[in-house]
Every structure is written in C-alpha cells, then in structure tokens.
Structure 1
C-alpha cells in the first residue's frame, strides 16, 4: 500500500530543494538537511553537516553553478518505519530547457524530525550509460530488474 501523504511530503522536499537552488539560496538549500547530514557530490567530495553544505553551495552558486536549476524526477521512495525514508531520483543541473535524459542518480536518506522531513544523507552519482550498455551486453544478468 502506498502511503500517499508521506510520499507527497518527501517529494515536496525535492521540489523545495530545487526552488532554493534556482534562487541560488545556499542557506535555504542547506536548511533541508539535518545538522549532521552527509552530502556526497557526483565527483566524490564529501561534505559533513548543514553548515558545510551551505558554505560549499554558496561558493558553487557564485561560480560554477550560477544561474542553474535542478531538474529531477523521483524514481522510488521506501519508508523504513514511521520516521525514515530512502528516496531515489534522477536529476541534473540545467541552464535553459530541461534535458531529455537526466544524467545523475541520487539517493536521499530522509528522517522526520518534529513533523518535518530532512535529508540526513545524500549521494549523487554520474550515470555512465555507455559503460552500463557494455556491461549489460557482455553480462546481461547485470541489468537491474528495477526501472532505470
């Protein structure tokens, strides 16, 4: 049975993160994370804690990611009890139109604190479609049964 209220609440976190990103508001973006959150970027950089996430994004929004937006779609959400969820999404940073293919895969671990869903851990991975295709061609059993 799908828990539509909790699923909607968790999905709203992604939308709110994207809104803060579009404004280039590092503090509002980081406010969606727990005080001690772990944040892994697609290049493998590890940030620890809300303040570190805010500081790094403040610099990114001023330089490399200035004027970008987040494009995202939720792939799956699983609730691990009443106050924890694992959300998988596809996403990308964009300027202009949304890309046809979203090239990154993200995992969010969320916890509900005082009625509010916050991200406790985030991991972002660049999807390598060519490498996946090669793997699937030579070892078809490596192809996941879950929707990609």
Structure 2
C-alpha cells in the first residue's frame, strides 16, 4: 500500500480527532462524542451492538453517560496509524473506561477514519473488542504459530 501521501499534519489531525473523543467522553457529552463520527458511521460495540451514524452514536452514548458510564473517563493508547491514500486511515488502539485511574487496557479498537469534504477527519467505523487474555494465552500455548509477532 502506498503511504507516501501522508504528512505529519495528517497524523496529528487523526490523533487530535481521537483525543477529542476521549475529552467528550470525560465530559459526559454524547453530542460532542457523536460529532466525531461521520453521518453514516458504524460503531460495533464489544457486546455486539451496532449503531449507525454520528447522531445515533452520540444519543446512545449520552444515555450511557447518564447511567452505566456516569462519571467514567476513557483511557486510550494508540498502537498504530496506517494511511491508505490521502483521505483514509486505520487506527488500532488499546483502551478502557475508568473512574479513579486507568486500569489494564482490556479492550482493543479498530477505527477507520476519513477526511471529510470540510477537511476534518472523522470516524467512519469503529470495532471494539474485549481482549480475552486467558483464551489468547491458551491458544498461544497449544498452537504457538497463532501468536503474532507483536501485540
């Protein structure tokens, strides 16, 4: 894949986009969270729920911020950013929610982000997966060829 078109500014803009999701989460602001997504975005949660579009994603997260996730913050560590052409990137991150201090980052997220017509980067898709460390360890133990080079 040709990555020559990316710039440091693009990488910084993608990081800023994801940082804004972290900040909106911390404020419990579903509308601001949803605004980071495209109008036709897809959000697949780690429990398998599928939300479509920034407005629905924001609305659903506001309900979560007002109940189950009230007072939580979002911890995120970006593992990798790969650009595909000038206007698309795939980001893999570790993350989790917390109240007092971040614990082990037990979830992984894969984001597809796109540069929109207004020049802003937004999230077009996110897939969240809860890491199953014990299952992973068992798999690696009994079939070492399944272990990736880096995790």
Partner of 1:85 in structure 2?
89
Is 1:8 aligned to 2:8, yes or no?
A: no
TM normalised by structure 1 equals 0.95
- The alpha carbon displacement at 1:98 in A equals 1.3
Give the alignment of 1:12-23 within 5 angstroms. Answer: 12-23=16-27
Gaps in structure 1 of 5+ consecutive residues: none
Give the alignment of 1:126-137 within 5 angstroms. Answer: 126-137=130-141
Task: Report the Cα distance in structure 1 between the residues aligned to 2:25 and 2:98, rounded to whole angstroms.
Answer: 11
Aligned length, in residue pairs = 146
Task: Report the Cα distance in structure 2 between the residues aligned to 1:107 and 1:94, rounded to whole angstroms.
Answer: 20
Q: Deviations over 1:59-112 (max 9, x none)?
A: 10000000000000000010010000000000000111111x200000000000
- The alpha carbon displacement at 1:139 in A equals 0.4
TM normalised by structure 2 equals 0.93
The question of whether the paired residues in 1 share the 8 Å contact of 2:35 and 2:55 is answered with no
Is 1:50 aligned to 2:47, yes or no?
A: no
Is 1:105 aligned to 2:108, yes or no?
A: yes
User: What's the secondary structure of 1:36's corresponding residue?
Assistant: strand
> After TM superposition, what 4+ stretches of structure 1 lie above 3 angstroms from structure 2?
none
Task: Report the Cα distance in structure 2 between the residues aligned to 1:137 and 1:4, rounded to whole angstroms.
Answer: 40
Task: Report the Cα distance in structure 2 between the residues aligned to 1:5 and 1:144, rounded to whole angstroms.
Answer: 30
Gaps in structure 2 of 5+ consecutive residues: none
Task: Report the Cα distance in structure 1 between the residues aligned to 2:17 and 2:138, rounded to whole angstroms.
Answer: 35
User: What's the secondary structure of 2:19's corresponding residue?
Assistant: helix
Task: Report the Cα distance in structure 2 between the residues aligned to 1:44 and 1:54, rounded to whole angstroms.
Answer: 17
